[in-house]
Every structure is written in structure tokens, then in C-alpha cells.
Structure 1
């Protein structure tokens, strides 16, 4: 979406050539250098809108007729300054998500505020940000991408915080709306739940384009707003997958040494980004579906996979403890202690890649065995319940005893 900046006073005759503005009707009396690009302009339209240029020109009063000014580190560079200069001359242009962050920062740098002129560039760009961008999650993401090269000024002007808060609010509102949809269409619950699940978290893929530090800010805002942990976890997994796409497949070569594997690992996602992403994930809060997806994703760091598998292992143990006999409950703490020690060793910095791979395989095997046993227990429980509903005779008691003896032998 675009917003046209319009002016109602006299327009100077002009011509735009690449990055320079050249006005033919009146000779220029000021040259402004922005990152090596020179703009031949006029003092009057600039000083009426820009406090910074007004101050710089006042310092060159004793100089030659044509003043020369250099603007160092202007946010957005020559392209953004050209838009600011057009604004000073009353030339129409479009404010869009591709330039609004730059215009906000440049207008602050140039001091193009209401103090110098009504409806100045600062208030125009701020209005577009608040009234247009913050109403759309997609537009907020696009503006955040533009902020990557404008930090820390974009942070100081609260452009980042406004966009992250707007994204979190939109995601939260979507979940509330989907909850009402589930209540409203409870008669077709299974069908509706399937539709809502696909639609309510449509924003997940949009966030993965953000740089990791800005993505982290969005996630923190979502936590504060009360967005469901399952949705946040799904977003983190999606982001991790996309960040790790360029990561090479490790250990693909037969007989590769541990040192060679470590070197290959370092050529993928930078360690800093990998650590930041893993720190964001609270694996205990992931749903079983999200945990299962993460455990099978070979592109995630092994430490993360081992942690997910370990947590899933504990979940299954707890389920088994509720279904098993007292004898099974006594053996569970011993096994848990062993696994916990193995897990700690797996995450120790001293352990190498091969050790993690081995623990990963062991956890997967144990999880498979536990799932099989839990499935058998559930089947046995279902049969017992069926028998209880049919009859209360002594034959049933004998049948139940036989079933429990059979379960103990599994």
C-alpha cells in the first residue's frame, strides 16, 4: 500500500537525473554531498523545512555564494535524501513500506519537524507508519526488514517497538477470532478445527524472513501479549528450518572424521544465530505435534533434537507410570536418572558430534519401545473397559486377572 505526499503551493520546474536533482529555472546556490552523491539545490526551500540544513547554512554565511554541505551518515543514503529534497520543493512522491522507515529516520536527522513547518516530513511519515503500516501484519514485517540497516536510530524512534507490538496484537487477535469460530461452529467441530488450525497461524511463515535479532523482539512481544506457546514454538521451528537451509548435510561422507564434521558444521548457520534461536525455544512448552516435527527434523542442531527427544521420553514415561503396575513405577526413577545423566553429557561442550549422534539414536529407539508399550497398555485398558460394560460376573474377574498378568509380561 502506498500513500501519496501532496503539496498545494507552487511547484518549481524540475528534472530528475539518476540520484541528482537539477532545477533549471534558477541557478543552484547550495551543493549537498550525501555519501559522495552531490545534489545541486536551493537554500530557500530547504531551510523552510529542515532545521539541520538551516543551522549548517548559517555556519557558511561568510563563505562563497554557493555553499557546500556534507551530510554524514544520513539514514537511507542518497535515495532517501532525494525524497526529502522533493518534499522540500513540493514534488509529489509515494510513501510505502519500502521507504517509510528511512523517511522517519532521515526526517529526524534533518530535523524536518513541526517546529519548522506544519505537516512536515516527520509527521507525514509517522502518520503513515501509525495509521497504515501498524494495521497490517505483513506491512509491519516489511518495515522491520527495512529497519535492519537503520539501527539503532529506528529503535530510538520506536519504529521497531511499534511494529513488533502491532504484529503481536494481530497474531493474538487472530487466535481470539479463531476461538470464537470454534465455539460458533461447534456442531461441525472436527471440520472447523481443521480449518482454524490452518488459518489462525498464517503469520508464522511471514516472520521467518526477519533477521534473528528482530525476530527475537517479535517473539518476546508475542509472549507478553499471550500468544499460545504452541504457535510460538511452530514459528520457531519454521524459522529454524529456513535459517538452516544453507547448512550442509553433516557426516554425509563415509568415514568422515569428527574434526571434519565440526568444520562442516561451522560453515553453515553462524554460531551466534544458532545459539540465539535455540535459547528462544522452551521445549517443555511445545505441543506433542510440534515436538514430533522437531525431533524428525535433521536440519536442526543435534543438541536441540536431543533435548526434544529427552522431553518426549519423559512425557511417555509419565504416561506409562500412570498405566503400569507398582513394580514398573519403582524402576522408572532409575531409568530416568540414567537418561538424565546421558542427556547432561550430551549437552556438555566437551562432547563431540559422534556422541550426540549415538545418544540421538538411543533415545529414538527407547521412544519407539515406549510408544509400543503404551499402545499395548491402551489396547488392554480398552478391552477391560469393554468387558466391564458387558458383564459383572465372576468370569469377568478371572478375565481381568488374566489380562493384567499378560500386561506384566510385556
Structure 2
């Protein structure tokens, strides 16, 4: 922490109870009362530094008082600030720090300690320290801004609050990567160039660059009014909206215990001990809602849901709750099932989960999806999703709602009309398959066995039997909880899917036959004939031809291996015959054999037969030992 030393004399003050005494040896001639504390001092040191004290002491002397009594009930900083002011007037050693400079600056202004009453007076010293040290340091500016809370009107008049906020906003909006070190301050182990020092020698190693959220924790220590002004100053400098939303989320988690359910017990107890009252929390939620950027995705859905859940617990105003529901609805495709499982916090509602809130959020999402054009409707053929393979936001939301319906279905207090309204709110084209909806309906029917047949049929009409997979059809056909009419429809479409699948298998089998007409037509047709099917047939034919070539090549290799094995066996027999001769060794026999072959080739022209024999293309003649 930066400091500035003032004065040179040894400390000459001592405290006795609620009184301070100067130990210079001279009897005091003035008493300054600040709150419940009294300071027994001398007139000359005070009058030579402060215009206010000069006037007050003069007025007391004119009244004929032997020991002048001066009362300063409104001095900024109170007893601690005046104690430092008195030491400054006597020239006693003291230190200006980020923790006391604001109080001393305000107190010196209050006491009129200008240059008129001595060169290097307290106003000029505190201003110099503020401008050249405090406002150039992130940490010191934060600390100084915190101390402004105690003397806020005076700090505002002297523009200390504004100067601190401007300094902090400028540093937070500056990219730390431009400087090569984190904006938090250079430490004693870091050089001005950003490299790490060891025994004063630069190692060349660089400190890791700071992230964009490096300042979140520091500013969360500010009171909300000062924090709000700081965020406003950052927004005027066009800081990223994602960064603002991240800071608001971090700040909210420090002061809203409801957002920290998953934290450890120790952390939670610390936060709960410093938590504001319920009224303050309600006001904080409303303020954060008004400060959050409106763009989709800048704030995480999990944070927005947590904020909405806390707002419901604290019974925040309906306009704030509605705004949070709209924010969540704007990015409902980014939510998880756990996010939507919000318990009811009202005794007037019987259901375990707040289904009405989820339905309102879904309606907001659908309204935005329709206004922006939404995604192209998806179609299903033979149980397969046609069109783009990637899920669109509307299909993701449909899957999410089906999962939510399955979770809330076991609630015996959930009315059929409410379940049906939420399920029917999802457009038909948003569900490529109705398996998830069928599962939710089945769970609901199992948990509500007292439903009448018309109510069961109304629920089952929510799903399209043609959009059930074969597995779902098989399960539904054996489900005695479904109405008979629905089971008949399921069986019909199950048979239709099976026939279509079998027909497709036969068609593929025929196309793999090289002599079939459809294959030849696909290969020889023009560019517009056959379409994607012709391309698939050509690929299958190419694969078949490649496999035929491979099969032929393997057969040839097997024949060659067989021939080589026979040659090896014959050579082995011949070698054994040569080795059994009584008069010739192997070397002499090879020489004799070579001579015999050469003589016969010269006489009758059979050199070619010898070459062919070595190449393995004719049968070899047996050689006798005598050549």
C-alpha cells in the first residue's frame, strides 16, 4: 500500500481515557472537543495552519475565556481525522495512505488549511498524494473510493468520488494485454516491462495476461450506489456488454444468498453473515434487472433463472418478475431442465413446480421466434428427421419442454388442462419425433389413474402416432393405459413403418445386383435422372466392383503361394539326394551339375528350357548324381 510521510518530530501525544494531551512541557491553552473526545492543545500551532481554528480561537479569547474551548462536532472523519490534523499542525511524523487521505483531504478543507496559513499545508499535501499516487493505482483507488462512504457529501463536493470512478473506469476498460501485465498493479517481483524478476535480475519470463473479469471481485466491495456509478462510467466508455453482465452477476452473488445454494457451507455462512435485509435484496434485484443488457446471451440463463427464483422467494414486484421471465424466454434454447424446475413459493398454488411461470417463459420464446422468422419447419419420414441435421432452437426448446413435462407429470395436483396447455403450446413442426411427448403422457396417465376415458383421449391426441419411433410404437401397442382407439392407430402406423422399412431393404438388395435394370439405369442415366438415389447406387456398384477385384487378387496370391510351396518341397527332396552321395560333397555336385547343363545347352540348344525352369513356368527334370 502506497504511503507518503509528513512531519519529522517524534510523537508528542498521549491518550488518557477520553482525552488527548500534548507532552511538549507547556500547559495547554485551548481545548478542542470532537464528539466525546477532548484534545488539550496549544493555540499557536493550530492558528498557524487553520483559518477556521484561528477565527474560533480568536472569538473565544475575545469573550475573556482563559482556556478557550472549541467544539468541532461536524468535522469530516471525526476523532481519527482530527488526531492526524493535530499531529500535522505540530509537525509530528505521520503517514498519508489510501485509507486516510480522503478523510484528511475533507477535514483540511473543512478547517481551511490552505497555503495562506503556511507553505505545504495539508490541503496541498493531500491533493498531491491523491493525484500522483492514489489515482494512478487500481487498488489504492478502490480503497480510497470505499472511504468516501463516511464523508460522502464532502467527498462529492471536492470531486474525489468522481475522480476515483473515472480512474477505475479507465483502467477497467483498457485491454491489459496492451501493457504485458495485469492491470491490478505490478508487484515487487515484476519489472516495468512485465517480466518476472529474481534478485533484481530480469528472467525474461512473462506474467500471464489478465482476463477481462480480473476487476470483478475488487469492485464488488463497493456499496451499490458507488458500484452503479462505476458501471455507468464503464458503459460510457463502450465496454463490452458481456463484461458488464458478468460483473453484475458476480456482484449479485456476493449479496443475494439465494444465488449461492451450491456453494460450500463455509462460503455460504460468510455471505449470509454480511447479507443485506430482505428489502435491500429486493431493491438490489430490481436495480440489477434494470442494469442488465437486453441482448440475448450476454447474461447466462442459469444466472437469470437464479435471479428469477430469488425474486419469487422475496416477492419482488410483478414488473421485475415479468422482465426476468422475458429475458429467460429470449434464450430459452440455452436453458437446461434443472433451470426450469422452479418450485412454487406461494401457498395458494397446489402444484410442486411453477408450471405457469414456465408456460409464460415458453410463450415469450415462441413470440420472439415467430417475430424473427423462426426456423424452417422440420418434417419426418419413416421416423427420420428430414432437412438440416443440426437442431434448431425451436426443436431444442421442444425437447426441453417434453423433458419438463415428464418431470412434473407425477405431481397428482397437476390438472390435465394445465398439462395439456403446456404440451400443446409447442408447435407441431418443432417435434421431429413425439417419443418424448409420449413418455410424458404415459407418466401422467400412470400418476393419474382416475382420469376418465375422454380426458385420456384428449391427452393422447397431443401426440402424432406417425411421429413415433418403432421402439415407441412397440411400447405403446402393449400399453394398457392408452385408450383402445390410440392403440389401434399405433398398431396401424407400426405396420406401415415395418412394411416401408422392409420394402426399402429389398430395394437396396436389388440395386446391389450388377445386372438389375435400376442399377444400369442409374449408371447410364443423364444428369437429371435418378437424383440422389442414382448416386447411392453408383457408390454401391463401385464398392461391389472393388470387392470383386480384391477377391480375384486374393485367389491369384493363393495360387502363387501353392506353386512356391511345391517348388520348395521339390528342391528339398533334390538336396537330400545330393547330400546322400558317397563321393561328392554339395559344392562339387553343384559344380558338376552346372558343367553338365552348359555342355548340353551348347550341343542341343536347350538353354531356354533351363531359364524357364528357374522361372517356375515348366516342370523341372530330375538330375542324376553323375550328371
Same fold? TM cut 0.5: yes
Mapped pair 1:243 → 2:255: yes
Residue in 1 that maps onto 2:245: 233
What is the deviation of 1:72?
1.9
* Residue equivalent to 1:66: 67
Where does residue 129 of structure 2 map in the other structure?
Answer: 128
Shift of 1:230: 1.0
Q: Which sections of structure 2, spanning at least 5 residues, go unmatched?
A: 183-207, 262-275, 313-320, 333-364, 380-417, 434-526, 536-627
Q: How does 1:269-308 map to 2 (within 5 A)?
A: 269-284=280-295, 287=298, 290-297=299-306, 300-302=310-312, 303=321, 305-308=324-327
Equivalent position of 1:324 in the other structure: 376
Partner of 1:342: none
Following superposition, the deviation at residue 293 of structure 1 comes to: 3.6
Are residue 21 (structure 1) and residue 32 (structure 2) matched?
Answer: no
- Give unmatched runs, 5+ long, in structure 1: 182-194, 250-264, 328-357, 374-391, 401-410
Q: Is the 8 A contact 2:141 2:164 kept in 1?
A: yes
CA shift for structure 1 position 215: 0.6
Count of aligned residue pairs for this structure pair: 315
Q: Distance in 1 between matches of 2:167 and 2:247?
A: 17
Question: What whole-Å deviation, never above 9, does each CA across 1:257-298 have from its counterpart, x for those lacking one?
Answer: xxxxxxxx98363443333332222232652xx332423425
Choose from 191, 204, 211 the match for 1:199.
211
Q: Which moved more, 1:25-34 or 1:56-65?
A: 56-65
The equivalent residue for 2:230 is 218
Choose 28-37 or 142-151, whichever is displaced more: 142-151
State the Cα distance separating 1:227 from its structure 2 match.
1.5
Instruction: Please report the TM-score for the alignment, with normalisation by the length of structure 1.
Output: 0.66
* Structure ranking higher on relative contact order (CA contacts 8 Å, 6+ apart): 1
Tell me: CA distance 1:393–1:199, structure 2 relative to 1, closer, same or farther (3 Å).
farther
> Structure 1 stretch 267-276 or stretch 51-60: which is displaced more?
267-276
Output the CA distance in 1 between the equivalents of 2:59 and 2:68: 10
Within 5 Å, give how 1:94-243 maps onto structure 2: 94-174=95-175, 177=178, 199-243=211-255
Q: Distance in 2 between matches of 1:129 and 1:292?
A: 42
TM-score of the superposition, structure 2-length normalised?
Answer: 0.45
Would the alpha carbon gap of residues 147 and 109 (structure 1) be closer, same or farther in structure 2, given more than 3 Å must change?
Answer: same
Post-superposition CA distance 1:109-131 (Å, at most 9, x none): 11112222211111211222221
What's the counterpart of residue 348 of structure 2?
none
Distance 2:152 2:66 in 1: 37
| Pair 1:34 & 2:86 matched | no
> C-alpha separation between the residues in 2 aligned to 1:67 and 1:239?
51
For each residue in 1:150-189, what CA deviation from the matched residue of structure 2 results, as whole angstroms up to 9, or x when unmatched? Answer: 12111111111011101100111136739999xxxxxxxx
Determine which structure has more spread, i.e. the larger CA radius of gyration: 2
Deviations 1:65-86 (A, max 9, x none): 2100100211111011000110
Distance 2:277 2:21 in 1: 51
Deviation at 1:219, TM superposition (A): 0.6
- Distance in 1 (CA, whole Å) between partners of 2:123 and 2:143 is 20
Q: Distance in 1 between matches of 2:181 and 2:41?
A: 58
| CA separation of 1:13 and 1:102: change in aligned 2, threshold 3 A | closer
Q: Which residue of 1 aligns with 2:89?
A: 88
> What is the RMSD of the two structures over their aligned residues, measured on CA atoms?
3.9
CA–CA separation in structure 2 for the residues paired with 1:396 and 1:320: 34
C-alpha spacing 1:266/1:121, structure 2 compared with 1 (3 Å): closer
1:353-388 residue CA offsets vs partner (Å, 9 max, x unmatched): xxxxx9xxx79x97xx97999xxxxxxxxxxxxxxx
